[in-house]
Amino acid sequence: MGVEFIRYAVVTGANKGIGLEIVRQLASAGIKVVLTARNEERGLQALETLKDSGLSHFVLFHQVDVADAASVASLADFIKSKFGKLDILVKCHFDSLSLFFVINESLHRKFVGVLILLLLSVIHF
């Protein structure tokens, strides 16, 4: 029998809306997903919603604020220690801070760059 291939994903801003639905679809496809949210209470509520759908063995929650380098580093450490790799990263948060970043493109690139660099440190191709 062959080695089981498990894929791992992180979805930021996944406590509601399109982010939550992306988590649901990835988990339904058998992908282990880290649902992230800036607000821990809302993130845990979203996780409970998915558990009610029978997806609890595919979804974990980790609090992250993508605008905070220490928070992103904590997420990267979590992924590295829990999975050892990351296959899919979905940035899906659309709040006023994100809109500010879109307006101030250089600042947006800086923080997204930090997120990507930290998370790439745990991706193995």
Give the DSSP letter string of 60-85. Answer: EEEE--TT-HHHHHHHHHHHHHHTS-
Determine contact, residues 35/48, Cβ cutoff 8 Å.
Answer: no
- pTM equals 0.73
pLDDT band at 116 (very low <50, low <70, confident <90, very high): low
Q: Report CA-CA distances (Å) from 5 to 18, 22, 72.
A: 27, 21, 26
Can you list the domains of the chain with their CATH numbers? 8-120 (3.40.50.720)
Spatial separation of the C-alpha atoms in residues 114 and 30, rounded to whole Å: 28
Please report, as a single letter, which amino acid is at residue 18: I
* CB neighbourhood size of 111 (10 A): 18
Residues 94-104 as b/e (b if ≥16 CB within 10 A, e otherwise) read eeeebeebeee
Q: What is the pLDDT of residue 120?
A: 52
Q: What is the mean pLDDT of the chain?
A: 78
Q: Report CA-CA distances (Å) from 70 to 74, 80, 92.
A: 6, 15, 19
- Over residues 86-107, the pLDDT tens digits come to 888 888 765 533 433 343 444 4
